[in-house]
């Protein structure tokens, strides 16, 4: 919509993927995760509205937590190939996501409430309940949508269920299209 030469822009939607790259994610699991991320990004980039308005961040966690894709418009995203090794620092990843999404310099007030997707086999090796509670308690981030994608047939659904917003089930890694809807 244009008003006197000014084009209205959609409010940005921060989408953070917390990607488990720990050793328990080796083999088929990391392959499934890479495929699911590629399908999700391809779908978001193919849509004229989402490629401009979705701000994507991918935070990996194993022995350390890394922001491998910064909070950028999805149209600019080039996915790295994720590899599995080390422990599962899920709680630390929650804290990094909260710091990122709670930073008004990175996520201005005009942004929609964030969406956080946890892609994991749900086998954390650090303390994660406290950091999850911090996410839930945060005024803006806690109001956002939390989804989880179970990777592998041995995924601990109980852990993943504690992460998701109450009205949403845990998704399977082979259902990336459900994250978009």
Looking up residue 125, the CATH number of its domain turns out to be 3.40.50.410
Flag whether 80 is in a domain.
yes
**Which tokens sit at 121?**
């086999």
Residue 114 counted as domain residue:
yes
Q: What is the pLDDT of residue 181?
A: 43
Residue 11 belongs to a domain: no
Q: Report the pLDDT value the prediction gives residue 180, as an integer from 0 to 100.
A: 46
Residue 9 lies in a domain: no
Q: Say if residue 1's pLDDT is above 60.
A: no
Asked if the model's pLDDT at residue 109 lies above 80, the reply is: yes
Q: Would residue 7 count as lying in a domain?
A: no
**pLDDT at residue 111 above 70?**
yes
Total domains in the chain come to: 1
Domain of 81, in residue numbers: 17-180
SS3 content of the chain, % helix, strand, coil (to 5): 35, 25, 40
Residue 67's φ and ψ, nearest 5 degrees, are -90, 95
105 domain-assigned: yes
User: Distance (Å, rounded) from C-alpha 63 to C-alpha 171?
Assistant: 25
pTM of the entire predicted model: 0.91
């Amino acid at each position: 919509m244009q008003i006197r030469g000014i084009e209205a822009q959609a409010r940005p939607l921060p989408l953070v993927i917390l990607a488990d790259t720990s050793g328990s994610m080796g083999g088929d699991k990391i392959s499934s995760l890479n495929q699911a991320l590629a399908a999700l990004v391809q779908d978001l980039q193919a849509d004229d509205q989402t490629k401009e308005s979705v701000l994507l961040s991918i935070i990996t966690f194993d022995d350390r937590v890394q922001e491998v894709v910064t909070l950028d418009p999805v149209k600019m995203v080039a996915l790295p190939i994720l590899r599995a090794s080390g422990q599962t620092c899920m709680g630390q990843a929650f804290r990094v996501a909260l710091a990122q999404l709670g930073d008004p310099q990175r996520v201005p007030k005009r942004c929609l409430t964030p969406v956080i997707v946890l892609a994991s086999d749900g086998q954390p090796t650090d303390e994660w309940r406290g950091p999850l509670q911090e996410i839930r308690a945060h005024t803006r981030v806690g109001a956002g949508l939390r989804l989880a994608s179970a990777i592998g047939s041995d995924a601990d659904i109980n852990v993943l269920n504690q992460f998701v917003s109450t009205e949403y089930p845990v998704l399977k890694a082979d259902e990336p299209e459900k994250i978009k809807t």
